[in-house]
């Protein structure tokens, strides 16, 4: 008869790994939903100068509705993680997300006050990119690290553009990255269903 003993460190390590697995899936689901919404917002912002506000808005609504449909269908693939380690991870993810959202509003306002408004789009793109890179580092989520680094690189290129060209490039490139990352994450979830 074999008795298997786990010390406290092993149990903590296993609990941490399990929490990360659960949050990885949850981040792809919930984060994917946010990426669809913000991807649609960037798309509308890029298309308004190229078409009409109505056409851009309708396309944005279609993108968001599609994201809601996919997110709803995948809810069972990423149940809300439970346990003390999962709560610690959730707290860190929530704080980082709130900081990025606050920065997306306060950063452009401050840049406008300093008469550096042309830096606003690049600032928001880079802040979203940094959040995605950090989330990938936190829960090893697929695609998000790559998407974050792409947004940071594209934000630097945005700095050399001005006016309508900057708005269109920033909007289209951000939309492609965010919607592509969300779609890849949804595809991952379809093939990696976790136990509740």
The tens digit of pLDDT for each residue in 54-70 reads 888 888 888 888 888 88
Question: Per-block average pLDDT, block size 10, for the chain (196 residues)?
Answer: 44 74 89 89 89 84 85 76 90 93 92 92 96 94 94 96 94 95 90 59
Residue 51 domain-assigned? yes
Distance separating alpha carbons of residues 68 and 59, to the nearest angstrom = 14
Domain count within the chain:
1
In whole angstroms, give the CA distance from residue 159 to residue 123: 9
DSSP 192: -
Q: How far apart are CA 179 and CA 110, in angstroms?
A: 28
3-state secondary structure at position 141: coil
In a domain, 195, yes or no: no
* Residue 167 within a domain: yes
- Domain hosting 110: range is 19-190
User: Is 7 contained in some domain?
Assistant: no
Tell me whether residue 145 is in a domain: yes
Q: Would you say residue 29 lies in a domain?
A: yes
The model's pLDDT over 160-170, given as tens digits with 9 standing for 90+, comes to 999 999 999 99
Q: Cβ contacts of residue 165 below 8 Å, gap of 6+?
A: none
Alpha carbon distance 99, 111 (integer Å): 17
């Amino acid at each position: 008869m074999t008795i298997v003993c786990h010390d406290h460190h092993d149990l903590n390590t296993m609990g941490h790994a399990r929490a990360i697995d659960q949050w990885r899936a949850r981040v792809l689901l919930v984060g994917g939903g946010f990426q669809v919404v913000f991807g649609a917002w960037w798309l509308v912002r890029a298309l308004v100068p190229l078409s009409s506000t109505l056409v851009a808005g309708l396309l944005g609504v279609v993108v968001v509705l599609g994201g809601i449909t996919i997110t709803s269908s995948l809810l069972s693939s990423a149940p809300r993680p439970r346990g003390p380690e999962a709560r610690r991870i959730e707290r860190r993810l929530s704080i980082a997300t709130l900081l990025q959202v606050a920065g997306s509003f306060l950063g452009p306002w401050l840049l406008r006050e300093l008469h550096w408004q042309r830096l606003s789009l690049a600032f928001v793109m880079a802040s979203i990119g940094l959040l995605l890179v950090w989330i990938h580092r936190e829960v090893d989520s697929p695609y998000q690290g790559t998407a974050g680094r792409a947004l940071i690189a594209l934000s630097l290129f945005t700095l050399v553009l001005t006016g309508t060209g900057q708005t269109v490039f920033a909007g289209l490139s951000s939309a492609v990255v965010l919607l592509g990352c969300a779609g890849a994450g949804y595809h991952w979830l379809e093939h990696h269903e976790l136990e509740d």
